[in-house]
């Protein structure tokens, strides 16, 4: 098992990662009857995409002796209701540190890594993924 999730009431859950005992609490968003005081489950999906992209780019960077420390991602999740409420688009803005430079080959390696991360490949094809690479 990966995690155990408990419903706490008031549209909140608590997920425990069994290997590390790390805890993540979720809350339904304000626009869906929740308090919006924590990540929503769909926020976690979008956040997982960004974390996965950075992790896979980190593996590629290690393999090719590149430095991507302090690279950051801004995530925007856009919900739609057509006809059911779901994630319609995730906007991913990847920002590489202005103090570093990358060759065209390194950029291609990192872009390919980001766009082949397991979360990216697992998202339904109906979820639009808009990815922008902001190079220094």
Q: What pLDDT digit, counting tens, does each position of 30-61 carry?
A: 999 999 999 999 999 999 999 999 999 999 99
Q: E strands of the chain, at which residues?
A: 3-9, 12-17, 23-27, 72-81, 85-95, 128-134
- Structural domain harbouring 90: 40-134
The CATH number of residue 72's host domain is: 3.30.300.20
Same domain? 33 vs 48: no
pTM of this structure: 0.94
pLDDT at 21: 97
Inform me whether the pLDDT recorded for 5 exceeds 90. yes
6 and 63 share a domain?
no
Mark whether 71 and 11 lie in a shared domain: no
- β-bridge pairing 12-17 and 3-9: antiparallel
Q: Check pLDDT > 90 for residue 82.
A: no
């Amino acid at each position: 098992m990966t995690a155990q999730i408990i419903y706490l009431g008031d549209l909140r859950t608590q997920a425990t990662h069994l290997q590390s005992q790390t805890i993540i609490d979720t809350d339904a968003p304000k626009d869906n009857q929740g308090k919006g005081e924590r990540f929503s489950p769909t926020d976690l999906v979008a956040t997982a995409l960004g974390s996965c992209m950075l992790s896979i780019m980190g593996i590629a960077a290690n393999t090719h002796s590149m430095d991507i420390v302090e690279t950051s991602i801004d995530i925007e999740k856009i919900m739609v209701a057509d006809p059911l409420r779901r994630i319609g688009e995730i906007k991913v803005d990847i920002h590489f540190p202005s103090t570093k430079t990358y060759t065209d080959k390194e950029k291609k390696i990192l872009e390919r890594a980001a766009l082949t991360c397991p979360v990216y490949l697992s998202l339904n094809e109906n979820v639009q993924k808009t990815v922008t690479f902001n190079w220094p």
